[in-house]
């Protein structure tokens, strides 16, 4: 088998953490009643259909999902509306391995009491799934929850793969990793204001996680992925909260020597990650004969030894704010959450467009992306997607240290909708490598990506998506249309761009006039960072933002690796 149960992984059971031991006791609480009991995906679906807050719509479910989950041929999409909270609550997270001894004791007591309450007041169900799509990287995950959380059990099965649907799991590569244990108890409450939004207790060293007082499915999805990414890191791989695809030029005479080009995109919400990853033909710029394969648009692992990237999930968990009732993607839908349902021509269907609330979500089959693959080659190109008005639409980073530093300080800006001061508005928000779910030290990712860039992967920054580039001030911006960004992506894949040094940032390059004007006439003068209006103020903002990046690195746990920290900070120099 791939990952290992506790009895096999631990040479001495006393090496197990208290958090895992508490969870194991709940999973294995066999008594003469019927709780806890294993439920299949089909049982979970049937039970979810009976919950008062779940709507069984008239929208047919994706056929592939029906087969994979073992559902009736006429299964319909269910919509699960879970109350006031329709997103993740980062403030609820507590990281067991970072706690003091006293904090650990307190958390252990909270969890013991919570488990007593859950077992006493509920019939419990257990689900077993496989996280990972390739036999070389598969992990078994076990979820336990009260019966009234059965809709989330079904969503969880659909998001990953029921163990029963992966006959090759037992023959997959055995890994020195524990099975994932996930405890879900949405009805938990605490009088302590610290836990007003619930409690997510994370023990990544022992692959155990608790969701207490939380209904939103996204907490279960990303909690499980957090364990998976951590497992991959422990195996010497690099975690990627990103999209990745392959463009094959072998049948395009003009570019046949490019062969297969693999490109990955890392970006925060609204940065264009999905647009870059999922674009069918890059706004019509891919040459005829080029073919596309997508691994995933959200989660994978990079193995530098085998030079392979492995996919974690068979589905997409997408926002539906841009999908109306006639959108073709509904054909691939499995389930929806926190969405208005409406009668249309006598049928009840889920309606997207965030009409009922923000962050409406749906689970879709990955097949809506077209040709997909469970593993893909080592990336030839990695792109950091940012909204930084001081950067041009594309930069090539030739210095591996600068490439890592910019990934470690992948940023977004506060918006005018936030109730903060003008000074606060100037501060950047950093989410290293676009992964807010990293629970191990940041320097581990930095060292991993350093090896990736040193081994031949090229690095770029795409900027301006959803914002723009400086045109005299930080509010007066030159728009960067998506078509421009996608055209630049195609040029990178084809290798048709030539590059010149950007004098202000050592190790960064911009496209040469001759090469870019053939592709995007007028681009060089429009987006040349050396020719911006109000240059003095531009320089001041550019220096400030790079200083913020330096300060962030210096104040992070990268400081535990002094040589690495110094290299990264030294790479972030502005040449006045």
For 281, residues 6+ apart whose C-beta sits below 8 A from its C-beta are: 292
Tell me the mean pLDDT in the region 172-190. 97
Tell me the mean pLDDT in the region 186-207. 97
Confidence of residue 491 (pLDDT cuts 50, 70, 90): very high
Same fold yes or no, 6-55+86-237 and 381-571: no
pLDDT at 557 over 80: yes
What share of the chain in percent tops pLDDT 90? 93
Rg over CA atoms, the chain: 24
Length of the chain: 576
Alpha-carbon distance of 114 to 212, in angstroms, equals: 8
Helices (H) and strands (E) in the chain, counts: 16, 31
Residue 556 has a pLDDT of 98
Alpha-carbon distance of 298 to 240, in angstroms, equals: 8
pLDDT at 150 over 90: yes
Residue 284 has a pLDDT of 96
Residue 414 has a pLDDT of 59
Instruction: Kindly report, residue by residue over 501-515, the tens digit of the pLDDT.
Output: 999 999 999 999 999
Distances (CA, A) of 388 to 466, 469, 539: 10, 7, 13
Instruction: Kindly report, residue by residue over 26-41, the tens digit of the pLDDT.
Output: 999 987 666 899 999 9
Instruction: Kindly report, residue by residue over 204-251, the tens digit of the pLDDT.
Output: 999 999 999 999 999 999 999 999 999 999 999 999 999 999 999 999
Tell me the mean pLDDT in the region 352-358. 95
Nearest alpha carbon to residue 180 among 241, 235, 226: 226
Residue 30 has a pLDDT of 84
pLDDT at 357 over 50: yes
**From 3.10.290.10, 3.40.50.970, 1.10.645.10, 3.40.449.10, which CATH number describes the 6-55+86-237 domain?**
3.40.449.10
Instruction: Kindly report, residue by residue over 42-99, the tens digit of the pLDDT.
Output: 999 999 999 999 999 999 999 999 999 999 999 999 999 999 999 899 999 999 999 9
β-bridge partners, 319: 361
Does residue 487 contact residue 283 with C-beta atoms inside 8 Å? yes
Q: What is the DSSP string of 385-417?
A: EE--TTS-SEEEE-SHHHHHHHHHT-EEE--TT
Alpha-carbon distance of 463 to 433, in angstroms, equals: 15
Instruction: Kindly report, residue by residue over 369-425, the tens digit of the pLDDT.
Output: 999 999 999 999 999 999 999 999 999 999 999 999 999 999 987 554 444 466 666
Of the CA atoms within 13 Å of residue 218, those in its CB half-sphere come to 19
Please give the sequence-ordered ranges of beta strands (E in DSSP) within 304-405, or none if there are none: 308-311, 315-319, 333-337, 340-344, 347-351, 361-365, 375-377, 381-386, 394-397
Q: What is the DSSP string of 123-156?
A: -EEEEEEEEEEETTEEEEEEEEEEGGGHHHHHHH
Instruction: Kindly report, residue by residue over 437-462, the tens digit of the pLDDT.
Output: 999 999 999 999 999 999 999 999 99
Nearest alpha carbon to residue 465 among 523, 398, 389: 389
Residue 424 has a pLDDT of 64
Q: Higher confidence at residue 428 or residue 145?
A: 145
Residue 269 has a pLDDT of 78
Residue 107's SS3 state is: helix
Mean pLDDT of the chain: 95
Q: Which helix (H) or strand (E) holds 209?
A: strand 208-212
Q: Please name the residue ranges forming H helices in 73-216.
A: 101-121, 150-159
Alpha-carbon distance of 113 to 93, in angstroms, equals: 18
- Domain boundaries of the chain, sorted by first residue: 6-55+86-237, 381-571
Peptide bond between residue 532 and the one before it cis (omega within 30 degrees of 0): no
Does residue 23 contact residue 210 with C-beta atoms inside 8 Å? yes
CATH 1.10.132.10 correct for 381-571 = no
Q: Is the pTM of this model over 0.75?
A: yes
Residue 271 has a pLDDT of 84
Tell me the mean pLDDT in the region 318-337. 95
Does residue 477 contact residue 471 with C-beta atoms inside 8 Å? yes
Nearest alpha carbon to residue 186 among 210, 221, 159: 210
Q: Higher confidence at residue 529 or residue 270?
A: 529
For 457, residues 6+ apart whose C-beta sits below 8 A from its C-beta are: 378, 379, 380, 381, 382
Residue 422 has a pLDDT of 64
Tell me the mean pLDDT in the region 176-183. 98
Check residue 190 and report its DSSP letter.
-
Does residue 263 contact residue 378 with C-beta atoms inside 8 Å? no
């Amino acid at each position: 088998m791939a990952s290992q149960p506790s009895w096999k992984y631990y040479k001495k059971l006393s090496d197990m953490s208290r958090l895992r031991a508490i969870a194991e006791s709940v999973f294995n609480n066999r008594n003469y009643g019927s709780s806890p009991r294993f439920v299949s995906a089909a049982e979970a679906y049937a039970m979810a259909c009976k919950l008062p807050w779940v709507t069984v719509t008239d929208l047919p479910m994706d056929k592939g999902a029906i087969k994979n989950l073992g559902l009736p041929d006429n299964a319909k999409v269910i919509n699960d509306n879970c109350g006031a909270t329709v997103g993740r609550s980062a403030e609820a997270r507590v990281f067991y391995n970072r706690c003091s001894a006293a904090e650990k004791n307190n958390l252990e007591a909270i969890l013991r009491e919570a488990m007593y309450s859950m077992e006493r007041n509920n019939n419990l169900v257990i689900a077993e799934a496989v996280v990972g799509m390739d036999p070389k990287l598969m992990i078994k995950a076990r979820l336990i929850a009260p019966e009234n959380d059965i809709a989330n059990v079904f969503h969880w099965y659909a998001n990953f793969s029921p163990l029963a649907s992966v006959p090759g799991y037992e023959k997959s590569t055995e890994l020195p990793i524990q099975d994932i244990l996930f405890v879900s108890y949405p009805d938990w409450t605490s009088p302590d204001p610290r836990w007003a939004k619930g409690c997510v207790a994370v023990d990544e060293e022992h692959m155990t996680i608790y969701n207490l007082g939380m209904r939103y499915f996204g907490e279960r999805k990303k909690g499980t992925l957090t364990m998976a990414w951590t497992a991959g890191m422990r195996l010497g791989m690099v975690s990627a909260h990103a999209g990745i695809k392959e463009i094959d030029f072998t049948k395009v005479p003009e570019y046949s020597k490019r062969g297969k080009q693999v490109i990955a995109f890392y970006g925060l919400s609204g940065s264009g990650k999905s647009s870059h990853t999922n674009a069918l033909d890059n706004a019509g710029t891919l040459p005829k004969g080029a073919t596309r394969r997508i691994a995933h648009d959200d989660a994978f692992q990079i193995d530098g030894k085998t030079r392979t990237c492995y996919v974690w999930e068979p589905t997409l968990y997408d926002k539906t704010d841009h999908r109306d009732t006639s959108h073709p993607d509904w054909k691939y839908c499995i389930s929806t959450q926190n969405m208005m349902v409406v009668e249309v021509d006598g049928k009840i269907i889920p309606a997207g467009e965030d009409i009922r609330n923000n962050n409406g979500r749906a689970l879709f089959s990955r097949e809506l992306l077209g040709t997909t693959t469970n593993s893909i080659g080592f990336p030839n190109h990695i792109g950091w997607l940012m909204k930084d008005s001081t950067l041009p639409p594309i930069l090539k980073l030739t210095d591996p240290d600068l490439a890592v530093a910019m990934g470690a300080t992948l940023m977004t800006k506060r918006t005018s909708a936030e109730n903060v001061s003008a000074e606060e508005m100037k501060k950047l928000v950093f989410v290293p490598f676009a992964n807010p779910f990293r629970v191990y030290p940041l320097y581990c990712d930095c060292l991993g990506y350093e090896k990736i860039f040193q081994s031949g992967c090229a690095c770029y920054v795409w900027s301006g998506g959803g914002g723009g580039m400086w045109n005299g001030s930080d509010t007066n911006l030159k728009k960067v249309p998506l078509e421009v960004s996608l055209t630049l992506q195609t040029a990178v894949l084809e290798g048709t761009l030539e590059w010149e040094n950007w004098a202000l940032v050592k190790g960064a390059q911009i496209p040469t006039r001759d090469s870019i004007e053939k592709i995007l006439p007028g681009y060089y003068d429009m987006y040349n960072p050396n020719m911006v209006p109000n240059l003095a103020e531009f320089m001041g903002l550019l220096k400030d933002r790079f200083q913020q990046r330096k300060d962030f690195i210096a104040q992070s746990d990268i400081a535990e690796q002094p040589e690495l920290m110094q290299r990264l900070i030294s790479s972030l120099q502005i040449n006045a």
